[in-house]
Amino acid sequence: MSYKSVDIVEYVERLANPEYQEKWDNSGWQIKNSADVSKVLICMDLTLDRVDYAIDNGFNLILTHHPLFFLGIKSIKDDYKSQMIKKLILNNIGVYSAHTSFDVSKQGVNKVLFDFLSLEDSEDLIITETKSGLGLVGKNKKFGDISELLRFLEENLLDDSYRIYGRRKKNLSKIALLGGSGASEMQAAIESGADVYITSDVKHHDAQFAYENDLIVIDISHNDSEKLALAWLKKYIEDNFDLEIKVLSENAFTLKLD
């Protein structure tokens, strides 16, 4: 069965309203068409390999979390991104991205991670310019100590490496989280009373700040912190459309060695 790409995207926007994206973001249509869609590909980031995969396997709509375009493009030549653009247009493949619009959704990236950890009594970690919550804080009743939490993450979530920072072991009464790059919100995690902050892209001086303020930080990869939401998005679409949907959740940028 096929549907119009615009109808599928309109349904996605009920979940991830583009009006809620941050000012610096570029959620929304990256390459728009009104094609008939029978197969949808969902992934975190778009690469040439994934464009070729879509072409070879008949996917005519790609939904990504991270936008294909962040900076303006002045010309289409033979560089990496231009090659993607040409292939997508020549093969009539639409691309739509739900980035911070999906992050702040009440059923978005952070809520999926929150539920995965079985946290309770959610509070917004910060309030964004759109007055929507970005990041969540919740009470922990599942994990007895930090070792138990790490073991759960290693067995059920993490494909990439991670780092943990902190000054001492402590009871895990409250856990804060922010999928994606959350180091800039370290102060908010401290003020929330969280014992542990799970996020990604933590730099050396961020780790030092957390250490000095007695906050345990689990710095997982950007991909691992957000990938659970891709499967949730798949189910959300399947509840309303009879489509073949494929999720590619692995890190697109990891070099695979023999």
For CATH 3.40.1390.30, list the domain ranges present in the chain.
3-102+226-248, 106-221
The pLDDT value recorded for residue 74 is: 86
pLDDT tens digit sequence for 99-145: 999 998 989 999 999 999 999 999 999 766 555 668 999 999 999 99
The pLDDT value recorded for residue 131 is: 52
Find out whether 195 is annotated in a ligand binding site: no
Bigger pLDDT: 40 or 130? 40
Q: What is the pTM of this model?
A: 0.94
State the average pLDDT for the chain: 94
Find out whether 99 is annotated in a ligand binding site: no
Is it the case that residue 68 has pLDDT exceeding 80? yes
Question: Looking at domain 106-221, does it have CATH number 3.40.50.720?
Answer: no
Both structure tokens of 62? 């790609």
pLDDT grade, residue 257 (50/70/90)? confident
The pLDDT value recorded for residue 158 is: 98
Q: How far apart are CA 164 and CA 47, in angstroms?
A: 30
Find out whether 204 is annotated in a ligand binding site: no
Q: Cβ atoms within 10 A of the Cβ of 96, count? A: 25
Q: How far apart are CA 231 and CA 228, in angstroms?
A: 6
Q: Which of 50-54, 68-72, 97-101 has the lowest mean pLDDT?
A: 68-72
- CATH for the stretch 3-102+226-248: 3.40.1390.30
> In this structure, is the dihedral angle defined by the CA atoms of residues 106, 31, 60 and 223, taken in order, positive or negative?
negative
**To the nearest whole percent, how much of the chain has pLDDT over 90?**
88
pLDDT grade, residue 256 (50/70/90)? confident
Q: Which of 72-81, 171-180, 244-253 has the lowest mean pLDDT?
A: 72-81
Is it the case that residue 189 has pLDDT exceeding 80? yes
